[in-house]
Amino acid sequence: MAQGRDAPVDDAVARAMTALDRRRFLPPDQRPHAHEDRPLAIGHEQTSSQPSTVAAMLRLLAVPPGARVLDVGAGSGWTTALLARLVGPTGSVLGLERHRDLARWGAANLSTTGMPWAAIELADEGTLGRPVVGGYDRVLVSAAATELPEALLEQLAVGGRMVIPVRHTMLLVERDRAGVRTSEHGSYSFVPLVTTSPTRDAGAPPDRRRPRRPRT
């Protein structure tokens, strides 16, 4: 029987999100709100993105077991942990975060999940991603670029997929031997993608990945 329009989805992404409670990746004052489908502040002008947006991005990424994955903007470690659950012990996930305190906290959160094939590290100053021989099978980016970053395209393996917002549009980028093709998948609001380390802490964090109203 076909599922109804609002029926819960039962797939690898849904199972990963059930196994890895968002609450574990939130500051104490935000944990009572973990079940709410909205962004929650984690400090340093960053948020834990709303679960429906995270799920949409992960389904678009289509992460297979055994993949090598790059997570740009790891934050609290939740998306890195979800990616690690999807790739399993035969894969690997590298989460990068430009805020030193968040990188440490995210790494500590990730360490409690028992998935040593994933890690969160401080992003390299002035660099997008971290090049590896052969590239990454999947790349997830959690901030908006003004244009498709050539540096990340170069790190995407043949046969790979990248999900990245460019301005306010979610893009799926696919690389094959013939080149790169992109497709658009909805309109969202994001903080800018930057490569420099922050120089100071700021006040109340803005939404990091909040869906905008559909374009008409």
pLDDT tens profile 160-203: 999 999 988 999 999 999 999 999 999 887 777 887 766 544 44
Q: What percent of the chain has pLDDT over 90?
A: 73
At residue 7 the predicted structure's pLDDT band, cuts being 50, 70 and 90, is low
Q: How many CA atoms lie within 13 A of 166 on its CB side?
A: 14
At 40-85, the pLDDT tens digits run 999 988 889 889 999 999 999 999 999 999 999 999 999 999 999 9
Q: Are strands 169-176 and 179-190 parallel, antiparallel or unpaired?
A: antiparallel
Contacts 24+ apart (CB under 8 A), 177-181: 180/153, 180/156
Tell me what pLDDT residue 210 has: 41
The whole-model pTM stands at 0.86
> Strand, coil or helix: what is 4?
coil
Domain range annotation of the chain = 12-194
* Tally of CB atoms within 10 A around 117: 13
Q: Residue 160 in contact with residue 175, Cβ under 8 Å?
A: yes
Q: Residue 192 in contact with residue 143, Cβ under 8 Å?
A: yes
HEC secondary structure over 93-126 = EEEEECCHHHHHHHHHHHHCCCCCCEEEEECCCC
Q: What's the alpha-carbon Rg for the chain, to the nearest Å?
A: 16
Residue 143 has pLDDT above 90, yes or no: no
Does the annotation count 49 as an active-site position?
Answer: yes
At 9-44, the pLDDT tens digits run 779 999 999 999 999 999 999 999 999 999 899 998
* CATH classification (class only), 12-194: alpha beta
Residue 216 has pLDDT above 80, yes or no: no
Residue 117 has pLDDT above 80, yes or no: yes
Tell me what pLDDT residue 156 has: 98
84-109 mean pLDDT:
97
Active-site hit among 49, 76, 92, 142: 49
* Residue 90 DSSP label: T
Tell me what pLDDT residue 10 has: 74
Cα–Cα dist 90/92, whole Å: 7
